[in-house]
Amino acid sequence: MGVCFTIFFAYMLGEGRTPPFNDSKVIYSVAESILYRQAVDVPVPGGKLYAQQPLLPSAIHLPGVALRKAIAGGDPALDKLVKPMTSHLGTQLMVVLGCLLFFRFLLYLEVSRRGASLATLALAFATFLPIYSRSAWSEALQATCFVGFFSALIRLKEEPRPGTGLWFGFWVGMLVNSKYVFVLALPGALLFLLVCAYREKRVRPVLRALAWPLLPGAAFLVAILWYNWARTGSLFSSGYPSLAGLADSVLRESLFVGLWSYCFSFGKSIFLYNPPLVLSVLALPLVLRRHAVLWWGLGLTAGPIVCLYSKFVFWSGDWCWGPRYLLFVVPLLLLPAVFLVEELLAARKRLALLLCGLVFFLGFGIQLVGASQYWDHFIRFSKAAQAQWLGYPNRTGALSADRGGYCDPCFEDFYARNFTPAFQPIEGQWWFLKHHLWSDPWEVASRDLPLRRYTNLDFPSAQQWYKKPPWDWWKLDFVGRYGRAGHLLLAVFLLGLLGGASLWVRGLRRAAKASPPPAQVASAPGGDSGQT
């Protein structure tokens, strides 16, 4: 409970004030339609619209929509305050669940409670997961479902019985209902189970256990077919283009270029937005030596999806903060770093632990920079500056239509943020934040604008953006007659955070007292030897 309360109230304390936009607006609008109109279509001028996403990303927002309706009623002024916070509630609850699943999975892998706690804090606050918890986008949900799916897969491998089979089927259904592309993880999961069963001479128990996932899987399949029929009139049409159509239109990128960009591009490197993953890279020899089975399982399940996204010409996923398509695998990519820190804790290597702590605080700082304002504001400024400096691109050959001077998310419009250091989003938002923290006027702040390293042009869009800061914190909207309510909510969130932290610390102390230090810790599931 301490894990859940700490992360939930910390997220509520730093909640944003931005209502759903772009894809998240459609996802959230479906939840509104279900609750208000008992329908799955979204009314638009001149007709109606159906979401391409599965039902689950919208369904998680039903509690938030109901709460918004109960609080705001028909008051437009109150609804303006309530909508942003309640529209993120479903995502935040799913992220809290994902962090809890991650914590319990680490305990199952025989990571100490202290190590699991530190790792869960790193996931919750030092990766870009909290940025997506503050929006109605579906990527945070996908991350939670993949953690549940992978942990259930490992449990089924280790303990092939009806209970683990049912849970595996449940998380398979949840994962595919979070985004249909995750069906690509299933062949690798089956191959992983069968190869491990053959090597461990447990083929019959595994085959028997694999019958049980069909029960919850069938229920989720019925939900998918019904939602397909409700949107398209066909049980087997999801509204997405066919695989052949995608191959002809957008699956054009080189696999090497896509993977390289995810790792090393200036604007979308997964390591820039998730510094703790650098520790995972350093820990790869340790993982391959002691936990190779886990790594093979992750490669067989997540690998095909990452490769597909790398082939996507819109691999960046814009408009967004960082490489959003890879968020689903970030929690499990932390595992090598967790095992490394566990080794350092056991060996009491204080200098190395200090360096790991600095990496954590760097990741935390990057998420604070990202949360200071909604990512659209930097993108809009930088697009205007890009056109003024580098010129307007020729969009006549773009894969998406020119929409009156922009193309989403075409190379023509987004190459600057993806590949050039002049428009690096983290640096741009840090420049904005630090000068406001120091109360610098525009004349001072403009001197070290990142663009100044390359050009002496004046950028009116930068000045306008700087002088009207779009801070993304809920408390700033609670003014006037709502000021007292804002103070009360702030107090509730602070008390909840302190209470959750105290429960978490108390649990750690109880576990330490109840567990005498063993002479030797047994090896974790999937490993050859244990913690030293």
Give tens-digit pLDDT for 197-255: 999 999 999 999 999 999 999 999 999 999 999 998 999 888 776 666 676 778 989 99
- Residue whose pair of structure tokens reads 């630090």 in the numeric block: 434
Residue 57 has pLDDT above 60, yes or no: yes
- Confidence (pLDDT) at 518: 47
Residue 90 has pLDDT above 50, yes or no: yes
C-alpha span between 241 and 249 (Å, rounded) = 10
C-alpha span between 102 and 335 (Å, rounded) = 10
- Residue whose pair of structure tokens reads 């986008």 in the numeric block: 137
Mean pLDDT (whole number) for 463-468: 94
Mean pLDDT (whole number) for 129-137: 97
Mean pLDDT (whole number) for 478-506: 95
- With CA atoms as reference, report the closest residue to 472 among 140, 134, 10: 134
Residue 160 has pLDDT above 80, yes or no: yes
Other C-beta atoms closer than 10 Å to the C-beta of 235 total 11
CA 487, 489, 493, 499 dihedral sign is positive
Beta bridge partners of 48: 43
- Confidence (pLDDT) at 476: 96
Residue 529 has pLDDT above 70, yes or no: no
Mean pLDDT (whole number) for 100-107: 97
Mean pLDDT (whole number) for 63-84: 93
- Residue whose pair of structure tokens reads 């069909």 in the numeric block: 214
- Confidence (pLDDT) at 36: 93
Residue 151 has pLDDT above 70, yes or no: yes
| Confidence band of 376 (pLDDT split at 50, 70, 90) | very high
- Confidence (pLDDT) at 517: 55
Three-class SS string for 449-518?
A: CHHHHCCCCCCHHHHHHHHCCCECCHHHHCCHHHHHHHHHHHHHHHHHHHHHHHHHHHHHHHHHHHCCCC
Q: What is the mean pLDDT of the chain?
A: 92
- Confidence (pLDDT) at 407: 80
- Confidence (pLDDT) at 461: 92
Query: pTM of the prediction?
Result: 0.94
- With CA atoms as reference, report the closest residue to 478 among 492, 463, 488, 493: 488
Query: What does DSSP assign to residue 334?
Result: T
**Cβ atoms 500, 5 nearer than 8 A:** yes
Alpha helices in 14-138 (DSSP H): 22-37, 56-59, 62-72, 76-87, 89-108, 113-126, 129-133
C-alpha span between 113 and 115 (Å, rounded) = 5
Residue 530 has pLDDT above 50, yes or no: no
| Confidence band of 521 (pLDDT split at 50, 70, 90) | very low
Mean pLDDT (whole number) for 304-318: 95
Helix (H, G, I), strand (E, B) or coil at 43: strand
Mention every residue, 6+ apart, whose C-beta is less than 8 A from residue 441. none
- Confidence (pLDDT) at 155: 98
